[in-house]
Structure formats: structure tokens, C-alpha cells
Amino acid sequence: MRQEAGVIDSPALDDAWVDEIEALPENRSARVRMAETFTGPLRWVRRVFDFLTTTPGQIVTVMLILTLALVAAGVSMSQSMAARQQSMDVLVNSTEPMSNSAHTLITSLSQADTIATTTFVQPGISSEYDMNLFMESVDAAVVAANQVLEGTVESGGTDEEIRSSVLQIQRDIPVYAGLMERAKTNQRMGNPVSVAYMSSGSNIMRERMLGNASRLFDLTRGQVADEMERLSRPQWVPLSGLVAALFFLVLAQIWLWRVFRRRLNRGFLAATVMMVTAILWASAANYAVWQSGQVAFDRAAEPWEELTTARIDAQETRTDEIFALLRRQSVTDADTTFENTYQSVSRALDTASASTSESTDPAVVDAARAALEQWNVAHSDLVRTLGDGQFDRAVEVLTAPNPDDGVPSSTRAYTQLDNALSTLIGQSRQDMREFIDASLDATKAVSTAVLLLTTLSVLAIWLGIRRRLGEYL
């Protein structure tokens, strides 16, 4: 019976685990499951918080805050300076050359019209030299227009007004050249209609082509000025980040001194020196960019703009003189235009002579003044001869490069003045380029240097605190 009882009781013992499973609740509440889910993370957070209340935890916290502050400040200044340097590269290689091409475009168009009208009143067939000079001016205008379009693409510009102005000029150039060629052909044949063709071509040049070129020149010149003004502003936000990081670094050293009552940490001192160096370097670069890119650039741009305007005014005035002779009209309007041009050129020469730049040649300024006075005398004689009806003498005054004794030469004086103004404009542009290059040079190596100094500062503070942390391990 005992053996049978043992056999009977053994299945009951084997099924005991089923009773244990049934003893557990089939459906646990959401609160229980949530508690089981967050118990582990909450326990870990509590341990971290308890660690942070200890001295080693406070040290680690301070070090992490310092590391983030130093890295953020260094990366911010480095990226800001790198972006500025990239924008300076675009300005030097694309935007400023595009503005210069716009200047070349307007002066070449104006010069072409002046040459065409001048050769038209000269007796006989136009010389090969004059024809080549006219074609060179037109060709220079075509090349300059293409360069403006290329500069717009390279600089990333999206100004549709610039492109539309250039395209309109490119469409008008063949029309203008065709009208002038017809005028010269009819002139050789002795047809009076040649004057009408030349007047139509000159009207297209002055009312449409020069208008678009002038607007184009103003737009591109404004882009250069705006970019220089933007890129020359001090980088207050990145600089303030470096100063804030230095401030946190000093506060951390004061806290360490109060906690450990020991001398200042050498690692922190080294980091402080490197951060001060980074701040001084970045500040000096910002000052150099502001000085050369805004103050000095504005001084150099003023004579360049005035000289360019004066040269264009002189070219248009020269054309007005020729039309006054061709149309046998009153010279009152032409005389008024000449007086305005005389004042404009005189002011531009005064500005150029007052410039402190070493590129401006005083001899060229003096030559321009002398040529302007000679042109003034020749213009007065032209006005008098036209008023008296002495058209043959007026032609000699207006077109003869080497007239008889006692006869002033308008063409010689104008040519000398135009050459002098062209030289002064080139010298003024050289000054502006030098100041832009100086701004670019000031930004070089700053980005890498600041990032390197802040990285070394982070390494220095961790090496400096290593011994203090080792005391608690």
C-alpha cells in the first residue's frame, strides 16, 4: 500500500508548478507595468543625481559645461570666419570684376559713339585708324557685356535686372553698328540721309544703350559696396561667444580654488592664455577688415566713382559738340552741357588729387587739368565760330589734331583729357582692389587658428583636472 501511495502521490508533486503559475494574476494593471518599466531608468537617474552632488560629480559637471562652451565658441567663430573668407573670395574673383566689366561696358559704348560722330564730321573718308578704334570700342563693349553675365553666374547673383539690361544692350549693339555703317556708306556717296542714319544710331546709343549700361553700372557698383559693408561688420556674436567661454573658464578656476584651496591649475591657466590669444587674434582680424574694407575702401571708391562719371560726361559732351556742328543748330544747350561737364571733371580731379593713395600720380592729374583748360578754350572758340557761321573753321577747331597756329584743338585736348581720366580711373580701381585684398588677407588662417586654440584649450583643461579627479578614484 505504501508503494502504491507513493506512486499515486508522485503526479501531484510533479504538477506543483502549475499551481504557482495560476497563483500569479493573469492581467497586471497599467500602473504596475509602468512602475516595472521606469524603475530601472529612475534608479539610474537617482544614482546620477547622487553622484552629481558629490565633489567628483560637480567637477565632471563643470568640465562638461566648459567643454561645450569652448567647443561652441570655437566652432562658431571658425565657421563665421570661414564663411566670411569664402564671401571675400567671391567678391574679389567675381563681384568686383563684374562691376569693372560694367564700367568698361559703359565707357566703351560712350567712346564708340564719340568716335563714330567725330569721324563723321571729318573731311574726306574716315581713316583706317579711326575705323579700327571704333571697332575696338564696340568689341570691348561686347566682351564686357559677356563678362558681366559670366560674373553674375559665378557670384551666384539672381538679379534679373542685371541680366535683362545686358541682354538688351547685346540686342542693340548690332542695330547701332548697322545704322552707323549705313551712315558712313551714305556719307561716302554724298547722300544727306547719312545724317539721319547717324542721328538715329546715336539716339539708340544715348537713350537706350547708355541708359541700360548706366543702370547696370549702378547695380554692380552697389553690389560691391553692399558686400564690402556687410563683410566689414565686426563679428559681434562669435566674438561674444569667445568672451563668454573665457568668462566661464575664469569662473571655473575660482571655483576650483575655493574647493581645493590650492594654487591655480596649470592646465586651466594654459587654456586661459590660449583663449585670450584666440580673442585677440579674431578681434585684430575684425578690426583690420573693418579698417581696410569699410573706411579705406569708401575713401578709395569716391574718386573712382567721380572720375568714371566725369569721363562719361566728357564723352557725351564731346558728342554734343559734334551734333551742334552737324545740325548747324544753336550751341546754347551744348554750352550749358559743357559748363556742367567742366565742373564735374574739375571736382573729380580735386577728389583724386586730395586722395592720400600712393597709386594716384599727381603728374597725371596735372595733365588732366591742363587738357581740360585747353578743351575749355577750344570749346569757347567753337561756340564763337558757330555763332558767326564760320563752319569751316569750326570743323578745324573740332576735328583737327594739329591745327594752324592760333587755332585751339578740341580733339587733341579731349583726347589728352580722356586718356588722363582713363589712367586715373585705373589707378583708383587698383586702390580699391588693394583694400579688398587686404581684407581678404586679414581673414586668412583665423578660422583654423581659432579652432585649433579652442581644441587645445579643451585638451588642456582635461589634462589639468586629471590629477584632481584622481584623488577620488
Distance CA(173)–CA(138), nearest Å, equals 8
Q: In which domain, by residue range, is 366 found?
A: 62-470
DSSP for 202-222? Answer: HHIIIIIIHHHHHHHHHHHHH
Q: Indicate the DSSP class of residue 291.
A: I
More confident residue, 338 or 123: 338
The answer to whether the beta carbons of residues 406 and 350 sit under 8 Å apart is: no
Alpha carbon 91 to chain centroid, angstroms:
4
pTM above 0.85, yes or no: no
- When mean pLDDT is compared across 156-165, 218-227, 299-308, 395-404, the lowest value belongs to 395-404
Question: Residue 457 and residue 249: Cα distance in Å, rounded?
Answer: 10
Residue 2 banded pLDDT, cuts 50, 70, 90: very low
CA distances from 171 to 105, 168, 184, 216, 289 (A): 14, 5, 21, 15, 41
In sequence order, the 6+-apart residues with CB closer than 8 A to the CB of 274 are 453, 454, 456, 457, 460
175 domain-assigned: yes
DSSP string, 3-70: HHHHHHHHHHHHTHHHHHHHHS-SS--HHHHHHHHHHHHHHHHHHHHHHHTSHHHHHHHHHHHHHHHH
440-456 pLDDT per residue, tens: 888 888 888 999 999 99
Structure letter (DSSP) for residue 328: T
- Mean pLDDT of the region 241-264: 85
Residues 319/325/326/332 CA torsion (nearest 10 deg): 80
**Residue 99 domain-assigned (yes or no):** yes
**CB-side neighbour CA atoms (13 Å) of 88:** 25
What are 17-44's pLDDT values in tens digits?
A: 555 555 555 555 666 666 556 665 656 6
Grid look-up 579627479 returns 469
- Mind listing the pLDDT tens digit for each residue in 155-209? 655 578 888 899 999 999 999 999 988 888 888 787 878 888 888 988 899 889 9
Does residue 51 sit within a domain? no
pLDDT in tens, 322-348: 878 877 766 666 666 788 899 999 999
Contact 357, 426 (CB under 8 A): no
pLDDT for the residue 169: 93
CA 395 to chain CA centroid, nearest Å: 47
Per the domain annotation, does 308 fall within a domain?
A: yes
In a domain, 34, yes or no: no
Tell me if 7 is assigned to some domain.
no
* Alpha carbon distances (Å) from 240 to 10, 70, 141, 282, 286: 83, 12, 48, 11, 13
pLDDT, position 153:
73
For the chain, report the end-to-end CA distance as a whole number of angstroms. Answer: 70
Q: Which class for 70: exposed (0-12), middle (13-18), buried (19 or more C-beta within 10 A)?
A: buried
CA 143 to chain centre: 22
Long-range contacts formed by 138-141: CB under 8 A, 24+ apart: 138/108, 138/112, 138/173, 138/177, 140/104, 140/108, 141/104, 141/105, 141/108, 141/109, 141/112, 141/169, 141/173
Backbone dihedral angles phi then psi of residue 125, each to the nearest 5 degrees: -80, 145
Classify residue 67: in a domain, yes or no: yes
d(CA 448, CA 74): 10
Cell numbers at 442, concatenated: 586679414
- Inside any domain, residue 19: no
450 vs 297, higher pLDDT: 450
How many domains, in total, are found in the chain? 1
